[in-house]
Amino acid sequence: MELIIGFVYIAIALTLLSTSNAAEPAQIRLLRPRFGSGGRRVEGLDCLSWRLAVETNNLRSWKVVPQSCEDYVGNYMLGRQYRRDIEVVAEAAVEYAKSIQVAGDGKDLWVFDIDETSLSNLPYYARSDVQFGAIEYNETGFNQWVAEGTAPAIPAILRLYKTVLSLGFKTAFISGTLDAYTDIKILNLNQAGYYNWEKLILKGENDHGSSVDYKSQRRTELVNEGYRIVGNIGDQWSDLIGTNVGNRTFKVPDPMYYIG
Ligand SMILES: *[C@@H]1O[C@H](CO)[C@@H](O)[C@H](O)[C@H]1NC(C)=O
Ligand SMILES: *[C@@H]1O[C@H](CO)[C@@H](O)[C@H](O)[C@H]1NC(C)=O
Ligand SMILES: [Mg+2]
């Protein structure tokens, strides 16, 4: 039934195209409808539409992945699509970085978020008691995972990191992780392959308020120190909005949680 509807849809689309372009002989490539886990409604919710709305910041302040999308998000995160989506972002960032004339005064800076940008918490999120974010955030459980210090690098972002360093940029990590975890974070970043950063900024006890405010304040401090934030990459919109966001921002996908 879905298949038939799909073909009817294409027939209508072709009719619309051919009437609007009547003057030119239309060369239209035929598309075959494809059905996968995304795009299919589960209990009334289309999980691909949900993920797209999340990535575009149209859905905000959501607390958990909808239960009916747990499988979809899990398959996305563990499958090839997530990796490919990140690679496209990283490649665009590399291209942009290469287009910049680095001043050579050590003040051209690239800001990296850590969690789900530079390091992946997927080993934690894939656990059955976490379910890719379909279960409400458990601070105790998550902090135990952070304390292990074993989060792997996200390979495409590690390559971006090394590329911007080799191009002469300085790098700064700005993370919402508490600075009580500074030592373990340094070990974790190193064992994942990240070295030679200019700044590692973690959240202090007195950093209350939103992530947008916290990250904006820290970036503003960097700018006041004379740094020029040329690039900024993160998985949350709160990494990329606010003040002094940088000349260009890059958003990597994260359908597992929302931080405002
Ligand atoms: C949160 O995680 C801790 C550590 O894994 C666990 O002992 C606790 O039961 C969890 N809390 C809830 C509400 O699931
Ligand atoms: C970054 O933006 C500032 C302010 O708009 C501009 O002056 C500067 O030339 C830009 N730098 C780069 C590398 O594009
Ligand atoms: Mg993050």
**Ligand 2 within 6 A of CB of 174:** no
**Ligand 2 within 6 A of CB of 100:** yes
**Ligand 2 within 6 A of CB of 230:** yes
Task: List per-residue pLDDT tens for the chain, 260 residues long.
Answer: 444 545 445 554 544 444 445 566 777 766 655 444 555 665 678 999 999 999 999 999 999 999 999 999 999 999 999 999 999 999 999 999 999 999 999 999 999 999 999 999 999 999 999 999 999 999 999 999 999 999 999 999 999 999 999 999 999 999 999 999 999 999 999 999 999 999 999 999 999 999 999 999 999 999 999 999 999 999 999 999 999 999 999 999 999 999 99
The crossing angle, in degrees rounded to 10, of helices 182-192 and 139-148 is 60
Which atom from ligand 1 is nearest to the alpha carbon of 129? 14
CA of 247 to the centre of ligand 2 (A): 6
pLDDT at 41: 64
Residue nearest to atom 3 of ligand 2 (CA): 247
**Ligand 2 within 6 A of CB of 49:** no
The structural architecture, per CATH, of the domain 10-251 is 3-Layer(aba) Sandwich (3.40)
CA of 213 to the centre of ligand 1 (A): 29
Which ligand neighbours the alpha carbon of 112 most closely? 3
User: Is the distance from CB of 176 to CB of 203 less than 8 angstroms?
Assistant: yes
User: Is the distance from CB of 76 to CB of 38 less than 8 angstroms?
Assistant: yes
Residue nearest to atom 14 of ligand 2 (CA): 247
Instruction: Spell out the domain ranges in the chain.
Output: 10-251
pLDDT at 28: 73
Residue nearest to atom 5 of ligand 1 (CA): 141
pLDDT at 102: 97
CA of 113 to the centre of ligand 3 (A): 5
CA of 101 to the centre of ligand 3 (A): 28
User: Is the distance from CB of 201 to CB of 181 less than 8 angstroms?
Assistant: no
